[in-house]
Amino acid sequence: MTDKQPARPRALLFDLDGTLVDTAPDLARATNALRAHHGLPALPYETIRAQVSNGGSALVTLALGLERDHAQHDSARSFLLDYYGQDVAAESRMFEGLAPLIDAWSVSPRAWGIVTNKPRLYAAPLIESLGLAPGAFLCADDLPVKKPDPKPLWEAARRIGVTAEECWYIGDHRRDIEAAHAAGMTAVAVGYGYLDEEEDIHAWDADHVFDTPAALAEALGY
């Protein structure tokens, strides 16, 4: 954790994959299904996990070496996402230690929400399967823009009736911190998410950094 003393917010806004929910097992399963479809052996789980927050296109590039401008990239991405969409919550779970925090923050006057770059087609059944009921839930296709643009964060704050300054936005990717700063929210980085080995989370200029879900919960008094 950073040495800054956190001031407790009025509302919490979370990124989804790698921050609130560990979706890597299901996305790794889909990534290796794509490789198997092309006659390739499975990749190690940790290799795939490090790329999950970069989205489906990054997983296609990892799996097959096809960059976004490759003629076969889009069809490979469709295969991966179709496979993933068959069961988005087979193995995905909230990160250990966050359920009590969410339960506490669901009681008025506190509020919480999710702002994700995951399409609603996959994000909605995921949170439904996990029994999550955020006060605001913004997905990649809900607005004309997505993170790191601050507008989805502002809209989430509006829906739960708080100002941007009263929110923590919590994420495991540099774009999450950029979005939080642009929105005027407290930017919180978590080190338990899907980080590449070469990524230095402390270089993101977050207001707070927490290495574990327990450290995040403790800072908020839970």
| Amino acid residing at 196 | D
Contacts of residue 192, defined as CB under 8 A and 6 or more positions apart, other chains included, come to 95, 172, 210, 211, 212, 213
Catalytic residue among 3, 15, 69, 200: 15
* 103 given a catalytic annotation: no
Catalytic residue among 3, 17, 200, 205: 17
* 17 given a catalytic annotation: yes
Distances (CA, A) of 13 to 114, 143, 212: 5, 17, 17
- Catalytic machinery residues: 15, 17
